[in-house]
Every structure is written in C-alpha cells, then in structure tokens.
Amino acid sequence: MNKLLLHPAAKPLVFILGLLPFAWLAYGAVTEGLGANPAEYLIRSTGDWTLRFLCIVLAVTPLRVSFKVNALARFRRMLGLFAYFYVVVHLLSYSLFDMGFDIPEIAKDIAKRPFILVGFSAFVLLTPLAATSFNRAIKALGARRWQALHKLVYLIAGLGLLHFFWMRAGKNNFSEVFVYAAIVAVLLGWRVWNFARNRKNGASVPRPSSAGRVQMSK
C-alpha cells in the first residue's frame, strides 16, 4: 500500500477524485439536473462534502498509525484544502442564491440565525488553517505553534456538526447528522485512546514528516 501511495500518479489521482463532486454539481447546474430547487441542492451538497472531507482528514492519522501506511500523510494537505474549497463554495452558494450577495443582509442573517453563525465561525476558523497549509508557514510559525493552530480542526469539526444538526432540526431529520457525529466521535476517540496508550508506554508522539506536514492537525 505504501508503494502504491508513493507512486507519482497517486497525488494527481487523489486531486481528480477530490474535484469529482464539484464537477458533478457543476454539470448538474448547467444541465438543470439538480432537482426542483437547484440552489438548495447546491448549498446542501457542498456543505455535505465539506463535512466528508473533514472526516477524511481526521481519518488519515488513525489509518496511517493503525495500518502502518505512512505514505497516507502526504495526502493530508490536499485533503484539508479540499475541505476548505468546498466550504468556500458552500458559503458562496449561500451568499449568491439565498442572499443575492447583499453583504449587509448576509451580515444580519449571520447574526440573527445561530446555525448560520456557527457555520460561518467554522469557516473563519478553517481559513487560517488553509492559509498556513504550506511549508514556509511551518518555518515562520515554528512547528509547535503551527501544530497548536492546526488542532483547531477538532473544534471546526464540532462546529460543522452543530451547524448540520441545527439545519436539520427544522425538518426533524437527524439520521445523517448521527452518522457524521459517530464517525467524528470514533476518530477523536481514537486520538484520546492513542494518546493515553503512548503516555502509558512512555512513548513520545512523533512529529510529522515533511512529506505530510501541512495537514490540518494530526
């Protein structure tokens, strides 16, 4: 598996796969294939993909450590940036289709509706993580401060879940929310368990290699 993930074609393939949801949504928008309410479909779909990519990012370390697939770390930066890409498209879709890019009205809506405030807060917190997703940022911040900053991804995942929960509360439909919450709980629970195990065994937590540094947290 490590050999396959280190192949020169692996990163371009992951990049193409990451863009496929956006390409499908763009195709649907052009061909009027997004249902009776294409704006709502686009907003919700990009929000869903933001959560999915956050879950994928959080899954990298448990999979890498548990199955000794160290090469997974080299994809963490790209996956994290895809999470940011989809949340930007999500925010732009809301701003354009729901609010007509009326900035004062958008500001009022964010302040008035808690679920939008929570979602916007997650976007704001994710922005510095995306902005520091390159090796020069690590050198500028220092590895310790950079790692501390990128641990915000745990809070961001929680805010994303809360945003999703409140959005679904109006229709009393929580089935997908519980699925995402269970996935995030398992991934964060693994980190707590692994940290406790390392402390018990007296093992130090290794620093990320240069191949997998810019990753939106371990």
Segment 18-63, tens digit of pLDDT: 999 999 999 999 999 999 999 999 999 999 999 999 999 999 999 9
Calculate the average pLDDT of the chain: 92
Give the model confidence (pLDDT) of 8-22 as tens digits: 999 999 999 999 999
pLDDT for residue 218: 52
Domain residues for the domain of 85 are 2-201+208-212
In a domain, 56, yes or no: yes
In a domain, 164, yes or no: yes
Computed on alpha carbons and rounded to an integer, the radius of gyration of the chain in Å comes to 18
Q: Quick one: which of 56, 54, 53, 40 has its CA closest to 167?
A: 40
CA–CA dist 86, 45 (Å, integer) = 9
First to last CA, the chain: 20
Give the model confidence (pLDDT) of 107-150 as tens digits: 999 999 999 999 999 999 999 999 999 889 989 999 999 999 99
In a domain, 105, yes or no: yes
In a domain, 159, yes or no: yes
In a domain, 218, yes or no: no
In a domain, 217, yes or no: no
Structural domains in the chain (count): 1
